[in-house]
A and B are shown apart, each in its own frame.
Chain A
Amino acid sequence: MLDGALSFLFIPVIELAAFACVYAMAARRELPFADAVNRFFAGNTPWLLWLVTLAAAGCFVPPQYTGRAFRLLEYAAVVPILWSMVIDFRFFRDTTTQSPRHAIRDVIRMRAIAWPIGIAYFFGIAIWSDAAFILSQWVRR
């Protein structure tokens, strides 16, 4: 369990770094950084619920159906993606920005910083084989 937690420590670390960047760029800061971080991480609830559902599928679904269950949950990830965007939008409106337009910009900034780094780390070097293939196909056209 500790090992799994250590393996996925990169997610909160990258989130924290991305949030620090967005916070530093913000025009208005209603909360001190520590409090803002605390409130921001509370917005991870949709992802935590999705992860527990994933773990429950691993625990209770018979092995012959786990593949299908995981595929369904992969599609269901659209729910935490959208839900967490709504939560982050509200958070940025309340704490760092005033207008909805700026809140949307901060939500996009957060993801533009955190997601590529997280994906690059998690999927690692192998992502280059696929990326290079897609790029070469595109260049050939």
Chain B
Amino acid sequence: MKVSRTLSIILLVVAIGAGTIADRPVNAPPLTLGGYRVIAADFHTHSSTWSDGALTPWGMVLEARRQGLDAIAITGHNQVSDAKVARWFSRLTGGPTVLIGEEIITPEHHVIAVGIDHIVEWRQSVEAQAEDVHRQGGVAIAAHPFDEFWPYYTEADLRALDGTEICHPGIYGRASRQPELEMFAGSARAAAGGRPLTAIGSSDFHGFGRIGLCRTYVFARDDSAPAILDALRARRTVVYGLHGKAYGDPALVQLAAGHPELRDAAAADAPAGALDWISRVCGIAGLLLLIVAVRRP
């Protein structure tokens, strides 16, 4: 029993050590393209505070920095309090720009509100929700609008939206999901008389996976919240979907094409290094051994 316990502790120490070395923060210098600062952002994330995530609001800020993000929106389920805590912490520690967000959840559809100040009431249509978001100076984004959500969006709802998620981790589970997001964007464009919605990519991070997966590249004047929101309203974004397909402003897509590292950072298939594997294997083995070793007091 004592041997098992000692061995499990050694394995866990190795896992933590290897993981810490392998998982160092990404410190890329700021990138400027076409006169704009390229902001790596994730506009749809959830913390553990009343929002079924796995990290605290301050943990989200640290993780976003580790993943090389310049901005995040923490989008609590029908609440904004955890985003405010994260913004306070990020300002205190010089972390990424934190935008106050909310995932407005109704049984019919989910809408991401970014750049708001207080809760948007969920018991109303998407159109009314978007109007409320706009009154607060924010932008309204259709969250993972896969085909099961389509019947509930009216033409007025589609016209009221500012953006739509064109990349979401759901596309990696089922390839047919990517065309669904494209079709929704097409329908919204048609409803708005040819005006495209801002292309958004989000991780919908809850704990598993990686914050910053499917990230949005925002072409903004600077990394302040007002500049990012202005860029979103002006549709100055680039997003990479399945197989690295680019979406967003065509001129900006062309500019970003010369920087493959942008596409690689957004993709799901970033290869894990040897240290990463050592950390994973030792971590799982150590935990299993620990559970078996101490299962009886």
Contacts and interface: CB of A to CB of B under 8 A. Distances in A.
Contacts, number: 102
A56 B173 CA distance: 18
Contact of B56 (A7, A45, A60): A7
A6 to B, nearest CB: 6
A3 B56 contact: yes
Contact of B287 (A8, A52, A121, A132): A52
A126 B291 contact: no
A123 B107 contact: no
B208 A58 contact: yes
B19 to A, nearest CB: 8
Interface stretch (A63-71, A99-107, A109-117): A63-71
Given A45-B291, A124-B77, A67 B55 contact: no
Given A42-B295, A52-B288, A66 B208 contact: yes
A7 B209 contact: no
B85 interface: no
A29 to B, nearest CB: 17
Interface string B150-183: 0000000000000000000110111000000000
A72 interface: no
B32 interface: no
Main secondary structure of the interface of B (DSSP, over half): loop
B284 A126 contact: no
Main secondary structure of the interface of A (DSSP, over half): helix
B268 A63 contact: yes
Contact of B53 (A7, A63, A67, A129): A7
A133 B107 contact: yes
B208 A123 contact: no
Contact of A7 (B59, B122, B170, B174): B59
A60 B105 contact: no
A4 B208 contact: no
Contact of B297 (A39, A48, A121, A133): A39
Contacts of A3: 55-56, 58-59, 62
B269 interface: yes
Interface in B205-234: 207-209
Nearest to B286: A52
B51 interface: yes
Contact of A52 (B56, B103, B291): B291
A125 interface: yes
A46 B291 CA distance: 10
B202 to A, nearest CB: 15
A7 B288 CA distance: 21
Contacts of A7: 48, 53-56, 59
Contacts of A48: 287, 291
B213 to A, nearest CB: 8
Interface in A111-141: 121-126, 128-130, 132-133
Contacts of A123: 52, 77
Interface in B1-57: 16, 48-56
Nearest to B270: A63
A124 B291 contact: no
Interface string B264-297: 0000110000000000100110011001000111
14 contacts: A3-B55, A3-B62, A7-B56, A49-B288, A49-B291, A52-B291, A63-B269, A67-B173, A124-B50, A124-B52, A124-B79, A126-B103, A126-B105, A133-B107
